[in-house]
Amino acid sequence: MSRSNGPTRLPASWLIGAVAGLLMVGLVAATIGPADLSAGAVMRELLDAVPFVHLNSGLSELQRSILWEIRLPRVVLGGLVGATLSGAGGAYQGVFQNPLADPYLLGVAAGAGLGATVAIVTGVGSAGVLPFAFIGAIGAVVLTYAIGYSARLGRTATTLILAGVAISAFLTAAQTYLQQRRADTLREVYSWILGRLSTVGWGEVTTILPYVVVSLAALVAHRRALDVMSVGDEEAAGLGMRTTLVRTSVVVAATLGTAAAVAVGGLIGFVGIIVPHTIRLIVGASYRRILPLSIIGGAAFLILADLLARTAASPAEVPIGVITAFFGAPFFAVLLRNREAVPV
């Protein structure tokens, strides 16, 4: 564990550069696909949507429909999911002082997976997957907290992590049992589990947007508190911080956003580990820098991963969870091997 040295404020130039990079990634993703859309035409079309700006993009009606109803919703959805998973990962690593923590630490993924499986095997339909997955994710965290905070070892980060592992194992077993009972739904269940951002229209974006905004705003608001907690719970309490309240607030905010992201995108792993650690190695250990840049970097990372998922085996589509695991598993192995060298 180490503290950051020197100034911890995020320079405005870094923030502007990160946002510019994200916009460039989004533009590239919006232009690439089976339908040929030039970057210049897409930029003119987007600027034409700005009030008092009138430009002729040159796109046909079909191309405009592809851009506004297929490409852009998918890019925005990927950005929201990536930003949420990455921001939550950085927050979990800070609040638990554990460089290996990720958004699925407290059973969120297992709970969402069980909820989605219940919706699919009971025939509720695709419209029921999101609310069932969301309820499952929240329920898993509630169980984790109930068990972790009732442990004889006390209310510590370690007891919560161990409780999360136990809850994840139990819920995964329940999900497997349901899958075996309804083998005819296995393909649909596995399609969701492997992760996907397929969307037509803005329905999924508008569904998760309020949860994502509230979650990320709360996490960013706690970035200074996470810096204080990096010195340890006893030292932070000695400085007047209510560590239990801060930890609970951060976990609830991170879980809220993660549950919404998992509900619409499935189980997309490793985003919450890859991006925050990369940012930490570049900008230092202060969460005043890590959290905002992780949110932006996570959005860009998942947009690029989704672009690769839908073009690598075109016209077929690779599950995005496979793409993130392809990069994330080696990253995790290196991180585990060199854990002592990783600042937190």
Helix (H, G, I), strand (E, B) or coil at 208: helix
| One-character DSSP codes across 2-32 | ----S--SPPHHHHHHHHHHHHHHHHHHHH-
Give the integer Cα–Cα distance in Å for 158 and 162. Answer: 6
Element (H, E) at 152: none
The parts of the chain modelled with pLDDT lower than 50 are 1-6, 341-344
Please tell me the predicted confidence (pLDDT) of residue 17: 96
Please tell me the predicted confidence (pLDDT) of residue 2: 43
Q: Let me know: does 277 contact 265? Beta carbons within 8 Å.
A: no
The pLDDT tens digits for 40-79 are: 999 999 998 888 888 888 899 999 999 999 999 999 999 9
Please tell me the predicted confidence (pLDDT) of residue 193: 78
| 12-341: CATH topology | ABC transporter involved in vitamin B12 uptake, BtuC (1.10.3470)
CA angle 93–323–77, rounded 5-degree value? 75
Please tell me the predicted confidence (pLDDT) of residue 295: 98
The pLDDT tens digits for 256-292 are: 899 889 888 888 988 998 999 999 989 988 999 999 9
The domain locations on the chain are: 12-341
Please tell me the predicted confidence (pLDDT) of residue 7: 57
Query: 3-state SS of the chain?
Result: CCCCCCCCCCCHHHHHHHHHHHHHHHHHHHHCCCCCCCHHHHHHHHHHCCCCCCCCCCCCHHHHHHHHHHHHHHHHHHHHHHHHHHHHHHHHHHHCCCCCCCCCCCCHHHHHHHHHHHHHHCCCCHHHHHHHHHHHHHHHHHHHHHHHCCCCCCCCHHHHHHHHHHHHHHHHHHHHHHHHHCHHHHHHHHHHHCCCCCCCCCHHHHHHHHHHHHHHHHHHHCHHHHHHHCCCHHHHHHCCCCHHHHHHHHHHHHHHHHHHHHHHHCCCCCHHHHHHHHHHHHHCCCHHHHHHHHHHHHHHHHHHHHHHHHHCCCCCCCCHHHHHHHHHHHHHHHHHHCHHHCCC
Please tell me the predicted confidence (pLDDT) of residue 3: 46
Please tell me the predicted confidence (pLDDT) of residue 151: 62
